[in-house]
Structure 1
Amino acid sequence: MRVGEYCNREVIVAERTTGVIEAARLMRRYHVGNLVIVEREHDIARPVGIVTDRDLVVEVLAQDAPPAQLALDDVMSAHLATASEDDDVLETLRRMRSLGVRRMPVVDGRGALAGILAVDDLLELMAGSLHEIVGLIARELRTEEQRRP
Structure 2
Amino acid sequence: MPIENLARSDVVTAQEDDSVEELATHMEESHVGSIVVTDGDEPIGIVTDRDLATRVLGNGMDPSEATARDVMSDDPATVDHDAGFYQATEMMSEHGVRRLPVCNDSNELVGIITYDDLSELLADEHMHLADVIQAQRPEY
- Give the structure-2-normalised TM-score: 0.96
CA distance in 2, matches of 1:12, 1:79: 17
Could you tell me which residue of structure 1 aligns to residue 62 of structure 2?
66
Structure 2: distance between partners of 1:9 and 1:82 = 14
Structure 1 letter corresponding to 2:112: I
RMSD (Å) for aligned C-alpha atoms: 1.0
Any unmatched runs of 5+ in structure 2?
Answer: none
Identity %: 34
> Aligned partners of 2:84 and 2:103: how far apart in 1?
13
1:1-149 map, 5 Å: 1-40=1-40, 45-141=41-137, 144-145=138-139
CA distance in 1, matches of 2:88, 2:110: 15
Range with bigger deviation, 76-85 or 48-57: 76-85
Structure 1 letter corresponding to 2:80: S
**Count of residues paired in the alignment:** 140
Say whether the 8 Å CA contact 2:77–2:91 is kept in structure 1.
no
Cα offsets for 1:14-39 (capped at 9, x unmatched): 00000000000000111111000000
Change (3 A) 1:11 1:80: same
SS of residue paired to 1:49: strand
3-state SS, counterpart of residue 74 of structure 2: coil
Q: Structure 2: how far apart are the matches of 1:138 and 1:48?
A: 47
Which segments of 5 or more consecutive residues in structure 1 lack a partner in the other structure? none
Question: How far off its partner does 1:69 sit?
Answer: 1.5
TM-score scaled to structure 1, two decimals? Answer: 0.90
CA distance in 1 between counterparts of 2:36 and 2:74 reads 12
